[in-house]
């Protein structure tokens, strides 16, 4: 009996080691099921226009809306990057978009462009301090001021969590897709199937956790 328990413990330990090894060294396989990458061309276009890291923009989108272009918060923030209409209008004016309307925030290309432009404004304002950029994005200039004077721990729970989540998700996207992934189409406009697609990992996750 004792020998059998030892053997069982060894098997469990080896399985755990295997799971940890798989998660750590093969994020390209499991990662797409957990961290999808949608609207690649729109993200890449805005990253190029405003000189921002593409996975930084992606991490903000994932944190704010999980790529739901029709998301609306309880306070009225809209779209993929959860922009307040008044903020979006100000950014649109700075970009010379004279035809801006609130309804256009449900257009992924427009929402991502305006959200990225807003991030760029904060990037310039805070000299590339990503903690301050994210604090401002979530909680406004007062939150950024608190962070810069007192540290992230002084932020309210929501903004503190937002800053940490975006940075962690940003790192995950870097690990899964690389820093310099390209648009959604391969040569001659044909979508390239990834190893994850061939394994149909998303359906497997849905089957396991439904």
* Tens-digit pLDDT profile for residues 110-122: 999 999 999 999 9
pLDDT surpassing 90 at residue 175: yes
Q: What is the mean pLDDT of the chain?
A: 84
Q: Please give the pLDDT value at position 17.
A: 59
Higher per-residue pLDDT: 53 or 7: 53
Do 135 and 119 contact (CB within 8 A), yes or no? no
Higher per-residue pLDDT: 21 or 56: 56
The residue among 73, 69, 96, 97 whose CA lies nearest residue 84 is: 73
Q: Please give the pLDDT value at position 99.
A: 93
* Tens-digit pLDDT profile for residues 49-72: 999 999 999 999 999 999 999 999
Q: Is 158 designated active site?
A: no
Higher per-residue pLDDT: 210 or 145: 145
Q: Hey, which residues does 3 pair with through a beta bridge?
A: none
Do 84 and 98 contact (CB within 8 A), yes or no? no
Instruction: Give the mean model confidence (pLDDT) for residues 20-49.
Output: 78
pLDDT surpassing 50 at residue 77: yes
29 CB-contact burial (10 Å; exposed 0-12 / middle 13-18 / buried 19+): middle
Token digits for 130? 């990503």
CA-to-CA distance for 106 and 79, rounded, in angstroms? 5
Q: Please give the pLDDT value at position 196.
A: 42
Higher per-residue pLDDT: 7 or 75: 75
Q: Please give the pLDDT value at position 5.
A: 61
pLDDT surpassing 90 at residue 191: no
**Position 138 confidence tier, pLDDT thresholds 50, 70, 90:** very high
Instruction: Give the mean model confidence (pLDDT) for residues 72-91.
Output: 97
Instruction: Give the mean model confidence (pLDDT) for residues 141-167.
Output: 97
Q: Please give the pLDDT value at position 9.
A: 61
Q: Please give the pLDDT value at position 204.
A: 44
Helix (H/G/I), strand (E/B), else coil: 51? coil
pLDDT surpassing 90 at residue 88: yes
Instruction: Give the mean model confidence (pLDDT) for residues 92-113.
Output: 96
Question: For 116, phi and psi rounded to 5 degrees?
Answer: -70, -40
Selected catalytic residue, list 53, 64, 158, 192? 64
Q: What is the pTM of this model?
A: 0.77
Q: Which residues touch 174 (CB under 8 Å, ≥6 apart)?
A: 55
């Amino acid at each position: 009996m004792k020998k059998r328990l030892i053997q069982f413990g060894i098997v469990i330990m080896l399985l755990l080691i295997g799971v940890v090894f798989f998660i750590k060294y093969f994020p390209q396989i499991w990662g797409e099921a957990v961290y999808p990458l949608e609207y690649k061309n729109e993200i890449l276009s805005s990253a190029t226009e405003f000189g921002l890291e593409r996975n930084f923009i992606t991490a903000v989108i994932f944190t704010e809306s999980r790529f739901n272009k029709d998301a609306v918060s309880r306070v009225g923030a809209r779209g993929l990057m959860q922009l307040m209409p008044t903020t979006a209008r100000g950014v649109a004016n700075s970009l010379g978009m004279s035809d801006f309307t609130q309804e256009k925030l449900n257009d992924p290309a427009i929402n991502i462009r305006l959200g990225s432009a807003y991030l760029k404004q904060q990037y310039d304002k805070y000299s590339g301090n990503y903690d301050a950029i994210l604090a401002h994005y979530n909680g406004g200039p007062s939150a950024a001021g608190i962070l810069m004077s007192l540290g992230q721990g002084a932020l309210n729970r929501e903004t503190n969590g937002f800053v940490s989540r975006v940075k962690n998700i940003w790192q995950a996207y870097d690990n899964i897709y690389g820093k310099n992934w390209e648009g959604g189409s391969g040569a001659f406009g044909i979508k390239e199937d990834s190893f994850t697609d061939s394994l149909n990992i998303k359906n497997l996750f849905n089957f396991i956790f439904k």
